[in-house]
Structure 1
Amino acid sequence: MWRIGDAQVPLVGRAEERRVLAALVSAARDGSGGSLVVRGDPGIGKTSLVRAATAQLTDVLLLSVDGFEAESTLPFAGVQRIGMPLADHIDALPPRFATALRVATGYAAGPPPEPFLVGLALLALIAESTTGGPVVVVVDDAHLLDPESLGALAFVARRLDAESILLLIALRDGAPADALLAGLPELRLTGLDVPAAVALVSRSSEQPIDPVVAVRVAEETGGNPLALVDLARDLTPGRLSELSLSEGPVPIGHRLEGHYLATVRAHDPDVQSWLLVAAAASGGDPLLIERAVDRLGIPARAATAAEAAGLVSVGTTIRFRHPLVRSAVYGGAAAQDRRHAHTALGAEALARGLVELAAWHRAEAAFGVDDDAADRLQEVADRAGRRGGFASRARLLARAADLTSMGPRRAARLLDAAEAAGLAGAARLALDLVDRIPGEQLDDVQRGRTIAVRASLAAFLADPVHVARASAEMLDAADAFAPTAPERERRALLFAFQYALPAERSLAGTTVDAIGRRIRSAVGERADDPLGIILSALASLILDAPAEAAPRLRTAVATLHARPDDDILDYGALGAVLCTALWDGETGDDLLNRLVRVARERGSLRILDAALWTQSLLRLGRGDPAAAGRSLEHVREVRRAMGFPAEHVVNAAQLAWSGAPPATVLGIAEAVLALGFGGVHSSGVRAVAIQDIAAGHYRDAFERLKPFVEEPFLHITPHELTDFVEAAERSGNGTAALAAMERLEPVSAAIDSPWLTGVVTRCRALLLGDALEAEPLHRGAVDLLSEAGTPADLGRAHLLYGEWLRRQRRRRDARTELRLALDVFERVEAPVFAARARAELEKTGDRQAEVRADPSSLTPQESAVARLAARGRTNAEIASALFISTSTVDYHLRKVFQKLGISSRRLLAERLGLLDP
């Protein structure tokens, strides 16, 4: 049925669209969850189509919510209304999920939950309710939902797989909610075709209509069902004939809204006033509207007249015939009348204890500056922040600032709004808000906060200038904080260091040494608190000789290990820097694994995304491209959960290790460099140089690495030097190789690391060439690297020793080393080195070495599920780790067992081998 208010006419056309929705419902019944975003212009039939698809469902739990403008800044208001019918299931959820939902919806106090954790909790809550059968969730007018609820629903939609859940989201075309729903499957409704439109016009009219007129009306309205139904009902056949003969278009969109406004204005003033209050109320609360109307002295009969005219339907809520009717009523009223309506509604909401709603109406009633209304919005914004509603907090504070008198309070509210927008990931909004702040009205701390907001947005906006200058800007922020806010100063300095890492040699506006000196001036030579210890270590890494820096770096690593989980979220990623400088990849991986675990548990997907990316770089640096690839796949999974395109997740260095053509890798590296990310560029170029070494193109490797060696950068350069030694020695640049060794030796002497000592020993063996004295060095390198947990470097040690043995004509011994090398390279998925090892084996007469076949055809998500199950994780733990439901975990495990030909988890570890979590 086409539904306009409570009136109905048969639903004509839309056969294909109804088939699509029926198939989704059927799939949900069969345990295959899904989602669909239904888009279209006002009046195109979104609501009617969704209702027709769900009206006759049996043995299905139907949850239905509508978006309301008055709730659009109340964080998680939509989640609250969805969750209310499922309240009996909340105690069955894991405690952190139950707590997140209760805090987000205002039923409990506690730390603000991460928005994605609320989304995961909502998914778990809906999935828990499927025990009695499929669940269909319908969200209409989704463009009017609060952004937190819409974000949570979008998260749920992206994680539906093997659940008996269908999520249908209907909203207008071009809604600002588009970014939140990016990537979800869509059904875009357009006008009915002419035969269906003519049929709808004919059925809707109370009098016969000339078929020629009906066709003309259908064509001119573009088949918009609302326009067809209302014109057929409101206009006589004669008037329709006049419209069909005119040269102008039939009323639709704004014109149709004008048609409704004329209809409304045909009623007496009391009815118009009542309709205006109902339109201003947005949510359709009958009691609120009734009492607000009474405050304004509007007689009760006006409601009866409005309903009798078919403009509204009155029930448990008051609904307009269509949003365009409400829009016509509200938009056509005088501004003063709108303010009177909001004032009455706000007073009644406050009398009923609806503080957030009262503040919203009070703000809508404001004219120009209204500090009292701004103060009320500030209170509501603070409540939103306590519930984790940072997007709503940003909007509320921005509106509060608009209502605040010019001066420091207005500037402070704009700054608070910008920081909230940044926390919500709304980078453009945050930047716009910062641009509105009058700098002369800020104190030093506020000025520092403003600078910090701008610097923090650089990576979000991929602005090459600001990516390169972010560290310099954070130093400026630290200077602003220094006189009165030393803790803020130290945190700004920490960020100044962190922002230098992605920029690396593209750093602009400052230098690494300047950052180190500024940190040391703030914390001194010694510090005894965690942040001070970490900062002191970073300053030492920058400014001091390795022998002096190493003890401080170890103390900082120990400090990180001892910190509680909350601090790990703030500092955990620095563990990768400290451990890389100490050549301690295993400890770095342990710290990152902890950071990944905590971020997953808290639902901190942005931190998780960064941690997994850092983990992929660390694992690649340790020489395990296979493990790095698994981390990258987890990054892609997180990006999908957040609604970002996963195909854009590319690590140029990992591609090189995997055998991608150098031109492809270098093209990606140059593109990233153009965005200011010098660190990603240098890692990509270094990986191509390693690829050159594997292929025997030593001169090319030498030329690629030389600029990096000549322009050192922190903890990165010693790792580059080890490859440079091999490239230089093998390309006839022995002097450069010896100079590089002279730079490596002090680092090796200062750091007690089997990894570094093993690599340096390998380099010494290389410098001896075919001399017999090289053999104990080759053996020593193999022994040391066997303890280091750095497989590619171990494989390279076996390879170089095997090549040396072959040149000594010791073929049997050479085969042993080369087979060990080949096994390592195949296990860590380093095909270029594997090819070299295989070629060397053939030179020894061993022609049996073949490329190892891929043992399975698991999809990335199947592989992730299988690896966690092989580690003994429960389905619930796997679901939490991968942001999916337990049903989806069970579904993937069944597929894994089938593909691997096993029947129990006990055999997974054996079949998959020793894998990283």
Structure 2
Amino acid sequence: MLLGRRPERAVFDRLVEAVRAGESRALVVHGDPGIGKSALLDYLTGRATGCRMVHAAGIQSEMELAFALLHQVCAPFVDRVDDLPEPQRDALSTALGMRAGPPPDRFRVGLAVLSLLAEVAMERPLVCVVDDALWVDHASLQALAFAARRLRAESVAIVFATRPPGPAELAGLPVLDLTGLAEDDARVLLRAVLPGPLDDPVRDRIVAEARGNPLALLELRPAPGNYGEAPLPARMEHHYRNQLATLGESTRLLVLVAAADPTGNPVLLWRAAQRLGIPASALAPAAAAGLIEVGSQVRFRHPLVRSAIYQAAPADERRRAHAALAAATDPEADTARHAWHAGQAVDGPDDDIAERLEHSAGLALACGGLAAAASFLRRSAELTGDPARRTRRTLAAAKRSLEAGATDDALGLVAVAEADRLDDARRAGAHLIRARAVFAVNRDATASPLLRAAAAELEPFAPELARTTYLEAISAAMFAAGLVGDQLTEAARAARAGPIAPLPARAEDLLLDGLAVRFTDGYAAGVPLLRQAVQAFRDPGTAGPEAVRWLWLACTASTHVWDYDSWVVLSDRFVLLARDTGALASLPAALNARMSAHVLAGDLTAAAALRGELRAATEATTVRPFLPLGDLLLAAWRGVASDAAVLADGTATEARSRGEGAGLVAPAWALAIVHNSRGEHEEAIAAAEAGDQEVAVLGFPPWGILVELVEAAVLAGQPDRAEAALRRLTVATDAAGTPWARGLAARSRALTTPGPEAETHYREAMERLAQTRLTGELARSRLVYGEWLGRTGRGADARTQLRLAHDEFGQRGMDAFAERAARALKEIGETTQRRAPVPTGRLTAQEAQIARLAREGLSNPEIGERLFLSPRTVEWHLRKIFAKLGISSRRDLRH
């Protein structure tokens, strides 16, 4: 009976209709225990006729096993895994233990799940139901939530049921909140299940205290006097424990074994029961009481039954149950479960089991189960007698917890390790984990001193790790710069006093030395070393998977030395490595760097194309880039003031809340560009000075804001401000000496130079910038030169430069700069015509991105990999694209 659930049933009816029509849906059903989630899922199963159903359920005791629930979901389709695109096939096969390989990226596993479900749904619509999501292992939940977020047109529905507020992994998905039944419906339900009449006061009390919870009405109706103030789950568990207490000892032990086994395998249950001497007849009383059902699967009437039975059992009986399950589990075929049961079967140190648990942690890690590896290591440490080995395993568990994103667990384990007597090396390792956990939570002023201290402690034991940690300390100080004291100089001085680089030096060693010198002895002293570091990162020999970690900082270093070509090479490599190695958590930062390089080259079309992928990566991985500089610069150079203002305000607000002072520079720079493009030079001065930092730290380039300040101040009639900014700018540009640096310095010098001498600098700026790919900056130099020529009465020469600038801006979509050039032409008596918009057939942003990738020759699976979509969704989008553009094939996209 589903009394009072008409609106909820309508939600499921619409979901099934959509899936049958070729659409996809994701839904999270929130509700307290007993509120009717499972009953509604049964309703969904009954309504989904003609659909393929997959049922899976989280089990509390199985939360420690990596991809445990994913095995349930994928088991019916395991023969289809080989049909997936190769990177996804390898990731999912490794996660499911079907092949050996490096630990797969969790986002790529999620993409593989999405593609697998989409392939299966091509035969008939697919509905995947995940009950008790609160108890699903982290790796499986991340993969399924990833897939649910990327569903589009696959004829797939994924429905999760969980207690509110639900796991963090499901945040943002559509939610159906279940509340209690209305009082009238509750009375109808109570009358339907009561065996006889009930006094009105008793009935009213039951209805009131059940608060509309159907399970409470069904289960607790005979004993209203047992109601109290305890939460309903606790009262339900108490009720089930009372039922269990009336059964015999053998029955209670059999039911306990079933509760301790997450697989629900009846063969395993009877094998364990035989080892405990429990007869088959022991099942009958529990089955008659409705607590358990043993058929092809072992099922409990309600998850609360399982938890009540397990929690109510004495500790020694739980250990007996786990020991029997360990003995009944094949250690070769199911190593992880065997080790886990064995670990729960002892209450004191057991080095043999601890070794097996540590081995199982390695197996979990190999298939990408970081959280599971941490759990195995934690239990292994608890069972380790030797203090030194116990500490080592505890710290290993803390490290894996941190890598899994469980920073609180990591810090708790560090505290446990520190409770033992640590030697200096282990203490240094503990402090490093704590410092990295702090930095993972917030890149504010807290992290750098902790990293610096950990690096100093590591020096005697692990000098290379110490140097890496010093680099982390400097990068953390770079993020916080502008809102704190002199942390950056302190970190740089500590690094210079630390271990020297090994020979041959690693690329990251050169980067550390360059940054350390740059932030102690000044920019000019650091340039040669930073240039060496950039060249080292450009070497193909440094293009391995480990390079992903530092490529974002290498990209930043290339802009510090004004080396645009290296910026392009390194940002390209960053994107390719993040894609190819499956390091998708780094992909937003990589795309952000590459997008910014495109914008400064004036290729706004290429930047906009990456914008779609950046948004897809950010949405799919829930990882935001450090700074949304690509989006900021794109909006700024397009001259879309409203977009730039909203984005800049949001970025600055977030940067302040996170304590990331460096995050205040990029929004100010973007706004200064917008205002200068629109001729709003007073506003540009205010924007630039709001984000100006004495020590330029992060940015592409970090001195870009000074270039804007010089132009704005000159054109606003404030030469003193312009001269001060120019002096600071030329310190960097003179030391760098690249065409990019010298070109912008010459333009800025031309703006501040009175009289005819300015022309020499304008021409130098254009000559220098013509040697680069920075066509936008070259066009800006023509613009300010043309404006100067117009002011000096040289209309014909001004017309030439302004026409070139106007056409360049117009062709590249730099509309505000184009309008500024048009105004300057109008002042000398010239008119311009507006460019006709290019017809696109009203493609959406995602359709335009897919069209571009298809035009480049990427296959549907390759496009899906790039945009975190299933190949079937890509095909669906292409059909819409062809219809909108009036074409019939991919070949036509080239035109």
* Normalised TM-score (structure 2): 0.89
Q: Which amino acid aligns with 1:428?
A: D
1:706-785 aligned at under 5 Å gives the runs 711-713=694-696, 718-730=703-715, 734=719, 737=722, 741=726, 747-748=732-733, 751=736, 753-771=738-756, 773-785=757-769
Q: CA deviation at 1:403?
A: 4.2
Question: Which residue does 1:7 correspond to in 2?
Answer: none
Question: Which residue does 1:594 correspond to in 2?
Answer: 573
Distance 1:671 1:107 in 2: 43
SS, match of residue 36 in structure 1: strand
Distance 2:644 2:852 in 1: 31
Question: Which residue does 2:563 correspond to in 1?
Answer: 584
* Cα contact 1:629–1:654 (8 A) shared by 2: yes
Q: CA deviation at 1:36?
A: 1.2
Q: CA deviation at 1:59?
A: 3.8
Distance 2:799 2:419 in 1: 71
Distance 1:519 1:80 in 2: 51
Moved more, 376-385 or 405-414: 405-414
Question: Which residue does 2:139 correspond to in 1?
Answer: 148
SS, match of residue 30 in structure 2: strand
* Cα contact 1:70–1:360 (8 A) shared by 2: no
Question: Which residue does 1:5 correspond to in 2?
Answer: none
Question: Which residue does 2:551 correspond to in 1?
Answer: 572
**1:521-578 CA distance string (max 9 Å, x none):** 5345984544444444445555678777555444433332312341431332233123
Q: Which amino acid aligns with 1:610?
A: A
Q: Which amino acid aligns with 1:392?
A: A
Q: Which amino acid aligns with 1:581?
A: H
* Cα contact 2:58–2:130 (8 A) shared by 1: yes
* Cα contact 1:475–1:515 (8 A) shared by 2: no
Question: Which residue does 2:828 correspond to in 1?
Answer: 844
Q: CA deviation at 1:286?
A: 1.7
* Cα contact 1:439–1:447 (8 A) shared by 2: no
Distance 2:654 2:138 in 1: 33
Q: Which amino acid aligns with 1:298?
A: I
1:312-327 aligned at under 5 Å gives the runs 312-327=292-307
Within the candidate set 219, 224, 237, 2:213 is matched to 224
**1:319-375 CA distance string (max 9 Å, x none):** 112222223322333233223222222333366853322332233333365555544
- Relative distance call for 1:116 and 1:706 in structure 2 (3 A) is closer
- Relative distance call for 1:779 and 1:217 in structure 2 (3 A) is same
Question: Which residue does 1:125 correspond to in 2?
Answer: 116
Question: Which residue does 1:804 correspond to in 2?
Answer: 788
**Would you say 1:303 and 2:283 are equivalent positions?**
yes
Q: Which amino acid aligns with 2:865?
A: S
- Relative distance call for 1:745 and 1:48 in structure 2 (3 A) is closer
Within the candidate set 632, 641, 663, 1:659 is matched to 641
Q: Which amino acid aligns with 1:836?
A: R
Q: Which amino acid aligns with 1:894?
A: R
* Cα contact 1:75–1:389 (8 A) shared by 2: yes
SS, match of residue 283 in structure 1: coil
Question: Which residue does 2:7 correspond to in 1?
Answer: 16
**Would you say 1:398 and 2:378 are equivalent positions?**
yes
Within the candidate set 82, 97, 101, 2:73 is matched to 82
**1:90-134 CA distance string (max 9 Å, x none):** 111122222212221222221111111111111122222223221
- Relative distance call for 1:742 and 1:642 in structure 2 (3 A) is closer
Distance 1:212 1:418 in 2: 55
Within the candidate set 865, 868, 876, 1:883 is matched to 868
Distance 2:146 2:770 in 1: 44
Question: Which residue does 1:171 correspond to in 2?
Answer: 162
* Cα contact 1:513–1:542 (8 A) shared by 2: no
Distance 1:707 1:616 in 2: 25
* Cα contact 1:411–1:437 (8 A) shared by 2: yes
* Cα contact 1:481–1:488 (8 A) shared by 2: yes
Question: Which residue does 1:914 correspond to in 2?
Answer: none
Moved more, 618-627 or 876-885: 618-627
- Relative distance call for 1:86 and 1:733 in structure 2 (3 A) is same
* Cα contact 1:112–1:388 (8 A) shared by 2: yes
**Would you say 1:451 and 2:439 are equivalent positions?**
no
**Would you say 1:859 and 2:844 are equivalent positions?**
yes
**1:425-470 CA distance string (max 9 Å, x none):** 222322333333317733344333333323333443226332xxx3
- Relative distance call for 1:90 and 1:666 in structure 2 (3 A) is closer
Distance 1:749 1:869 in 2: 44
* Cα contact 1:221–1:250 (8 A) shared by 2: no
* Cα contact 1:542–1:714 (8 A) shared by 2: no
SS, match of residue 130 in structure 2: strand
Q: CA deviation at 1:707?
A: 8.9
- Relative distance call for 1:830 and 1:500 in structure 2 (3 A) is farther
Q: CA deviation at 1:740?
A: 5.5
Distance 2:99 2:644 in 1: 56
Moved more, 786-795 or 388-397: 786-795
Q: CA deviation at 1:481?
A: 2.2
**Would you say 1:377 and 2:344 are equivalent positions?**
no
Question: Which residue does 2:51 correspond to in 1?
Answer: 60
Distance 1:123 1:360 in 2: 30
- Relative distance call for 1:591 and 1:801 in structure 2 (3 A) is same
Question: Which residue does 1:92 correspond to in 2?
Answer: 83
SS, match of residue 110 in structure 1: coil
Q: Which amino acid aligns with 2:91?
A: A
Question: Which residue does 1:817 correspond to in 2?
Answer: 801
SS, match of residue 489 in structure 1: helix
**Would you say 1:204 and 2:181 are equivalent positions?**
no
Distance 1:36 1:728 in 2: 55
SS, match of residue 417 in structure 2: coil
SS, match of residue 21 in structure 1: helix
Q: CA deviation at 1:642?
A: 2.7
Q: CA deviation at 1:417?
A: 1.8
Distance 2:794 2:402 in 1: 64
* Cα contact 2:571–2:594 (8 A) shared by 1: yes
Q: CA deviation at 1:854?
A: 8.0
**Would you say 1:686 and 2:677 are equivalent positions?**
no
1:633-644 aligned at under 5 Å gives the runs 634-643=613-622
Distance 1:328 1:497 in 2: 52
**1:876-897 CA distance string (max 9 Å, x none):** 1110011111122222233344
In structure 2, stretches of 5+ residues that fail to align are none
1:186-265 aligned at under 5 Å gives the runs 186-205=175-194, 217-231=206-220, 235=222, 252-265=232-245
- Relative distance call for 1:704 and 1:159 in structure 2 (3 A) is closer
SS, match of residue 573 in structure 1: helix
Q: Which amino acid aligns with 1:659?
A: A
Distance 1:878 1:135 in 2: 23
**1:800-845 CA distance string (max 9 Å, x none):** 0221222233445434433443444456665554443333233233
* Cα contact 2:3–2:189 (8 A) shared by 1: yes
Distance 1:829 1:22 in 2: 47
- Relative distance call for 1:621 and 1:632 in structure 2 (3 A) is same
Moved more, 154-163 or 36-45: 36-45
Moved more, 522-531 or 871-880: 522-531
Question: Which residue does 1:478 correspond to in 2?
Answer: 455
Distance 1:647 1:859 in 2: 27
- Relative distance call for 1:754 and 1:158 in structure 2 (3 A) is same
Q: CA deviation at 1:765?
A: 2.4
